[in-house]
Structure 1
Amino acid sequence: MQTLLTWAGRIALVAVLLVCLQGALDPLYDAARWAPPHDAVMHVIYGYLLTVLSILALPKVKPWTIGGVFIALGVGLEAAQALGWVSGTFQLKDLAANLGGVVAALAPMALARRKGR
């Protein structure tokens, strides 16, 4: 599993470096074209903040449990929207953004755990 994580990290690093290099060298680069929609950014921010603040507020609860609860709540909310039980519309990008925020909050802990071994 460690090897898989290491190689996944290397592949992600190379991909981000290539995107950064392309943006830095392209004279016609349009940053606005790549900007995510405001709604998706808010979902990432809320997922991140809710996870981090819950971890701080509930020190006896495992961070992974808190992350799982917020992922389940995000899925539940989107499902309720799809069924018409609450206002809003189901959007896969919102679900992905919620997941992204939770993962961004938990990733440093996972990396620290991995480094500690």
Structure 2
Amino acid sequence: MAQAFATAGKEFEVISNDYKIPVVVPYNDEAKKLIAAFVGADGEYLPWEEKQRMLRELQKYTVGISEVQKERLNNAIYQISDEEILVLSEGYYSNEVGVLEEPQMNFENY
């Protein structure tokens, strides 16, 4: 029986990437610093090259969600800057599961 694993791998997607909305997830200190730096620079003049560099760095912390999931998350997503960058509020992401619709409480610091 001939099998086409390469073709199957290219054609198959568990979760479709069609029409995904990019959302930045502040799941570690580096992502939080980048978000804070971008927000802090919003009112100031930021050279185009610096803004592009920061946007490329933020891409590492970006996930794609559907429009339906965005609507369900509603207030858990907020926008930063005029660039229309969407950010997921803390507690709505799990390293094991991904984006959560209910916040996950972290009591380690309390």
User: TM class by shorter-chain length?
Assistant: under 0.3
Give the TM-score normalised by the residue count of structure 2.
Answer: 0.27
Give the TM-score normalised by the residue count of structure 1.
Answer: 0.26
Larger relative strand fraction: 2
